[in-house]
Chain A
Amino acid sequence: MKIFLSNQGNLRNFKSFARSLDLSNPDKLVISTHDKWVTVHPANLVVAAALAIQAGKKNTEIIGKVPETGRYLDRMGLYELTKTPSPFIYHKKEEAGRFVPIKIIKTSADQSRFITDVIPLLHLSEENAIVVKYIIGELVRNVLEHSFAKDGAIVAAQYYKKTNRVSIGICDTGIGIWKSINTYWHPKNDIDAIKLALVPGITGTTRREGGTSENAGAGLFFIKSIAKITRNYFVIYSGSAQYTLLKHKKRIKGLPRLYADPNRDPHSETNTVPRFQGTLVAVDLSLDETPEFNYLLSNIGDIYDKSIRERKRAKYMTPKFI
């Protein structure tokens, strides 16, 4: 496998990153970077980390000239997953910032500890911390419950002071969304599976409305909706498919409208990226644009209800006009 970390590692360009992946020969991973400047979103980082863990430390290396900005890879913990020693010498204290380095979460107890102990590293206000806890709580739980990934959920997050934004990436090398949802829904390909998983009320554990006692099929819809309301990107990559919720334009006034059907959201999609055995979910959260969480929940809840009612109505008997 080969991964190239460019100087444009953000969610807007995630498709280019995915397209550039060489996922052949999964027993070996070679990571290289742009030689002058490297910019890495937590999404790119957790994909690299997940594949490094899969290949094993002794089979993973970082090659070529890594620029000074590459020290970010070190402080986020990527070098520790490779056999390549870090070329960067610095006092870790100096580098203390508002980030969550690569973490591996394998159990729900790990998850609770992570939420309690690690998210405070981002030094967010209580209100913003709740949103981040919510996102990570739901996404990690999805991995633990549905992915059957032996290496667990790989998580990283970064706060960007300049844009007052938090970026989160969560990745696993489990069964992927198509397989997870196929038992009950039979999507025809990976992109259909992703879009189905984004519909409120659709869960891979049943076809029954209201879900099971454990699952309602709301998690991904909530996260996509949070990204949309806060006018940000949201990315899912699984199998050969990638769905990107595009940023809601600032010039459009008012709260962005939420839709149950992910096809109605401004988005880009592809079903032809290199096949990734697992799932990546990544989201940006602009803290300036984040409304009261309660308001956000209320809006998302309304669409969720509406979606169930619409499905109900679709099953109504229709009169026979002759």
Chain B
Amino acid sequence: MGKIVNDFAENKDIAKKIRVEIIMPALSKGDEVVLDFYGVSGATQSFIHALISDPIRKLKDVAFDNLMYQNANNDIREIISMVYRYMQESLDMNKDEE
């Protein structure tokens, strides 16, 4: 990731590109995906949301089981965890409404 997003990950266009071109196809095939944050000092919630919310919403357990994060510092871990929490809350909620 560090090579693609530079020091601070805020560009959602790049997040979308990674999601659409790498994460979703790999997860859909049942492959594991490791997102390596080496060299990334921070990220916005919007960036992380654009990166992983769709896999969680669409692939649910496949995403939970096969998406992994490496070299994420505490701030990035906090944001990823937050996205996991609210996406799961909203999955339950939207399911209730369906």
Give residues in A with beta carbon < 8 Å to B. 108-109, 111-112, 115-116, 126, 130, 133-134, 137-138, 141, 145, 201, 208-211, 213-216, 218-219, 222, 293-294, 297-298, 301, 304-305, 308-309, 311-312, 315
Of the listed stretches B30-38, B62-70, B71-79, chain A binds B71-79
User: Given the complex, which residues of B lie within 8 Å of A308, measured CB to CB?
Assistant: 86, 89-90, 93
- In the bound assembly, the distance between CA atoms of A297 and B44 in angstroms comes to 10
Q: Contact: A305 with B75, CB < 8 Å?
A: no
The contact of A297 among B6, B10, B78, B86, by CB within 8 Å, is B78
Asked if B42 is at the interface (CB within 8 A of a chain A CB), the reply is: yes
How many chain B residues have a CB neighbour from A under 8 Å?
39
Asked if A216 meets B53 with Cβ closer than 8 Å, knowing A293-B75, A301-B85, A312-B93, the reply is yes
Q: Which of A209, A219, A294, A297 contacts B90 (CB 8 A)?
A: A209
Partner among B7, B8, B53, B82 whose Cβ is within 8 Å of the Cβ of A213: B53
- What is the interface of chain B mostly: helix, strand, loop, or mixed? helix
Residues A216 and B86 in contact, CB atoms below 8 Å apart = yes
Which 6 pairs from chain A and chain B are nearest by CB?
A210-B90, A137-B10, A209-B90, A301-B82, A213-B54, A297-B78
Known contacts A112-B6, A134-B10; 11 additional CB pairs below 8 A are A112-B10, A116-B6, A137-B47, A138-B10, A201-B90, A213-B16, A213-B53, A213-B57, A218-B46, A305-B86, A311-B93
Q: Are B49 and A211 in contact (CB under 8 A)?
A: yes
Pick the contact of A219 from B7, B14, B16, B46 — CB < 8 Å? Answer: B46
Q: For the complex, what is the distance from the CA of A109 to the CA of B14, rounded to whole Å?
A: 10
Which of B79, B81, B82, B86 touches A210 (beta carbons < 8 Å)?
B86
B16 contacts across to A, CB distance below 8 A: 213-214
Q: CA separation between A293 and B96, bound complex, in Å? A: 35
A130 B75 Cβ-Cβ under 8 A? yes
In the complex, what's the smallest C-beta–C-beta distance from A92 to chain B, in angstroms? 28
Instruction: Judge whether A133 and B8 touch: CB under 8 Å.
Output: yes
Chain B residues contacting A208 (CB-CB under 8 Å) are 90, 94
A209 touching B89, Cβ below 8 Å? yes
Roughly how many angstroms separate A311 CA and B94 CA in the complex, as a whole number?
Answer: 12
Contact of A111 among B10, B53, B78, B96 (CB under 8 A): B10
Interface of A (DSSP majority class): helix
Q: Establish whether residues A216 and B46, one from each chain, have CB atoms under 8 Å apart when the complex forms.
A: yes
Q: Which residues of A contact B57 (CB under 8 A)?
A: 210, 213
Given the known inter-chain contacts A297-B79, A301-B81, please indicate yes or no for A213 contacting B19, CB distance below 8 A.
Answer: yes
Complex Cα–Cα for A24 and B77 (A): 49
Nearest CB of chain B from residue A207's CB, rounded to whole Å? 10
Given A111-B10, A211-B53, A315-B96, A134:B44 Cβ within 8 A: yes
- Nearest B-chain residue to A131, judged by Cβ: B42
- In the complex the two chains form, is B85's CB within 8 Å of A305's CB? yes
Partner among A137, A201, A298 whose Cβ is within 8 Å of the Cβ of B44: A137
Q: What's the least CB distance linking B44 to chain A, in Å?
A: 5
Task: Give chain B residues whose Cβ lies under 8 Å from the Cβ of A211.
Answer: 49, 53, 90
Chain B residues 12 to 35 lying within 8 A of chain A, measured CB to CB, are 12-14, 16, 19
Tell yes or no: B87 within 8 A of A by CB: yes
